[in-house]
Amino acid sequence: MRITNGSGPNAVPLSITVSKPPYGVPGIIGKSNNIDLAEGTSLLVGQNATANLYCNVPNSQVNIPSYNESTVWVLNTGDPSQGKQTIQFTCNAAAEQVGPLFPNGTARYCYTGCFKENNLGRQLATAAYSDTKNKTNDRCITACLRLGYIFAGTQYSQECWCGNAIPIQRDDDNNCNSRCTGEPNQTCGGDGYFHNSSHISLFADSTKFNGNITSPPLQLTQSVGNYNFSGCYGDSNGRTLSDKATNSNNMTVEICQAFCSSFFPPYQYFGLEFAAECYCGAKPNPASKLLNSSSCNMPCKE
């Protein structure tokens, strides 16, 4: 913005007596410094002075919605006819959109937030890949889309994870503070604001996700088919159930139940462990210990 003291027969020096620049949201819209066009600035006849304003996209993540912010600059130059002036500024900023895009240029996978990792088990179950040199959010999103997952998550600067269940706990974005190995302007997870916890940057397929980012509490399935929940057991001197076993990257309670009941006669018990493992047995190992149900806290692969 430029202020000019124009010439004329009655021209006199111009003094800026009031100058309240537009600070708006810090780091997004405001005045570049506190010196230019500050209160007390004096302009002789024919002189002018300028100040620079900035309009930035919030430095949080790619694939966030476009950003609009308005603010004002209040000025008074002592002009008896003009008096105090309120000048409005509007900032329209668009964040970088990556991965598959819609025809209007917005991303299919929208940024959903920074989520705490290892919060009662791994949050996204499928490891798509790890790349120590060329990891970017768009590569991870594309990989998870190709694999058919709703959520794509980047972590530890180089890891890409996929899944269909939203993580449990969303934290403030400043907990995701690690740059991607393939793009230093992108964020790929982090170690927390106090550098003491793991976090994952999450993106969601907007064609399948309704935008609800309130995660339901982790719950133990109480019954499936003819089976009822019998408790949480800790292995001791061998596995709790050891007659038959299978594992799958798509493991669910229903899949394990179907596997253990497919034998003749069906096994009386089935159990799941480490998110992807399924075990069947005629009865639990008597050496196994019954634990508090809260000790069974690892989400299934799906």
Q: DSSP secondary structure string, 186-245?
A: EE--BSTTTT-S-EEEEEEETTT--S---PPPP----EETTEE---EEE--SS-S--SEE
Give the number of other Cβ atoms within 10 Å of residue 116's Cβ.
Answer: 18
Instruction: Report the alpha-carbon distance of residue 62 to residue 185 in Å, rounded.
Output: 9
Q: What are the distances in angstroms from CA 258 to CA 60, 154, 226, 227?
A: 44, 33, 11, 11
pLDDT in the model for residue 23? 65
Q: Is the pLDDT of residue 20 over 70?
A: yes
Spatial neighbors of 214 by CB under 8 A, at least 6 apart, are none
Q: Which of 81-90, 161-170, 279-288 has the lowest mean pLDDT?
A: 81-90
pLDDT band for position 183 (50/70/90)? very high
Task: Choose the weakest-confidence range: 90-99, 133-142, 264-273, 291-300.
Answer: 291-300
Q: Which residues sit opposite 233 in a β-bridge?
A: 290
Output the six-digit token pair for 121: 């088990």
pLDDT of residue 191: 93
Task: Please report the pLDDT score of residue 60 as a whole number.
Answer: 65
| Kind and range of the H or E run holding 141 | helix 137-147
pLDDT at 302 over 70: no
